[in-house]
Amino acid sequence: MLVRCDLNVPLAEDGTVTDAGRITASVPTLRALLDAGAKVVVAAHLGRPDSGPDPKLSLAPVATVLGQQLGGDIQLSRDVTGPDARARAQQLAGGKALLLENVRFDPRETSKKDAERLALATQLAELVGDKGAFVSDGFGVVHRKQASVYDVATLLPSYAGKLVAAETRVLQRLTKSQQRPYAVVLGGSKVSDKLGVIESLATQADSIVIGGGMCFTFLAAQGFSVGKSLLEADMIDTCQRLLDAYCDVLRLPVDFAVAGTFAPDAPSEIAAAEQIPADKMGLDIGPGSVQRFAALLSNAKTIFWNGPMGVFEFPAFAAGTRGVAEAIVTATAKGAFSVVGGGDSAAAVRTLGLPEDGFSHISTGGGASLEYLEGKALPGLEVLNT
């Protein structure tokens, strides 16, 4: 059985895993297959290797954590589909797992040429033999047309794993059967990264809260000075168009924690949205914005959150993200259906020590979630037999 997992987890400088969320999410499918006696070959990636193998992006630390969570050592091949991977796959016993080395060490994985991707996919399929099957359980990559995500599913009987099936059900609920009021919370640094989903959800949601670095481009579109804050000057006209078209849906911060430098120990002060000093930059939304957004979220029956409200990695600028997240937890406790859209939002939940069970669902795929909600086809889902 070939299983594509998403084990792309953050690593510390010493190579240790700092957030095992995606590893943990992969365990149920792998556990079920192993308990059934299957020989499981796992394909996964880590980071974005420039060209070929990079020791710093080896899956070795991931294999250690995965083994701990599955209750036994996991073999790690020294190559992707080379001699070591083939030998280990051939000798693999039932109920045991083999993790292939970082599949992106082979540049064919992400090639734009169909023939190159298919060649790698063929070699991956050969690792599990003629009677093998493919299980897609890496939701964070199903929006990519890559060899281990898409092409291999054209060669083997292919199925959705527990994680992919669960993620899909949640997103279908958000798009087809959400209860109202429906509130969306979007953060992150760039409007350009979220433009498609803003335009799509603005016609579906009752309110869209916009925070993070991208909100400053919206403020600039309103004619406000944003000091040294993040700004996409070429997106100001687009933001103006969005504000004109969806003024009754889009909600912007009213104040910010601002500082003179981008540093964890930078002295800060609270400034109104229309009074950001020229020599300061906004690093978090302010208490007035948290109060405004919390009041809005308190009435929501469905909530989708993707993107932090500020630089939550710096404790001094984490209050905005924490406050909004806690408001979502409170709304969830009152019966709202809440989805954390993966990526930095999921990392923020764990970094800030927020209760993971305080949200209805924490996705493992930020980009995939956004593209699904935007209405885009996800190649890794469409290719599956079931």
Q: Please give the full DSSP string across 9-61, using - where no structure is assigned.
A: --B-TTS-BS--HHHHHHHHHHHHHHHTT--EEEE---S--SSS--GGG-SHH
The response to whether 343 counts as a known ligand-binding position is yes
| Given 343, 365, 366, 380, the catalytic residue | 343
Predicted pLDDT of residue 198? 93
The response to whether 298 counts as a known ligand-binding position is no
The response to whether 144 counts as a known ligand-binding position is yes
Predicted pLDDT of residue 366? 81
Alpha helix locations (H) across 158-235?
162-176, 191-201, 215-221
208 φ, ψ (degrees, to nearest 5): -125, 110
Predicted pLDDT of residue 318? 97
Q: Is 323 considered catalytic here?
A: no
What is the residue-level pLDDT of the chain in tens, covering all 386 positions? 999 999 999 999 898 999 898 999 999 999 999 999 999 999 999 999 987 899 999 999 999 999 999 998 899 999 999 999 999 999 999 999 999 999 999 999 999 999 999 999 999 999 999 999 999 999 999 999 999 999 999 999 999 999 999 999 999 999 888 899 999 999 988 888 888 899 999 999 999 999 999 999 999 999 999 999 999 999 999 999 999 999 999 999 999 999 999 999 999 999 999 999 999 999 999 999 999 999 999 999 999 999 999 999 999 999 999 999 999 999 999 999 999 987 789 889 988 999 999 999 999 888 889 899 988 899 999 999 75
According to CATH, the topology of domain 2-161 is: Rossmann fold (3.40.50)
Predicted pLDDT of residue 375? 87
According to CATH, the topology of domain 171-374 is: Rossmann fold (3.40.50)
> Which is it for strands 158-160 and 134-136: parallel, antiparallel or unpaired?
parallel
| Given 22, 39, 117, 251, the catalytic residue | 22
How far apart are alpha carbons 285 and 308 in whole angstroms? 10
Q: Is 367 considered catalytic here?
A: yes
The response to whether 22 counts as a known ligand-binding position is yes
Predicted pLDDT of residue 32? 97
Predicted pLDDT of residue 386? 55
- pTM confidence score: 0.89
> Which is it for strands 97-99 and 40-43: parallel, antiparallel or unpaired?
parallel
- Domain segments of the chain: what residues? 2-161, 171-374
Q: Is 131 considered catalytic here?
A: no
The H-or-E segment that residue 235 falls in is none
Report the greatest alpha carbon distance in the chain: 67
The response to whether 48 counts as a known ligand-binding position is yes
Q: Is 322 considered catalytic here?
A: no
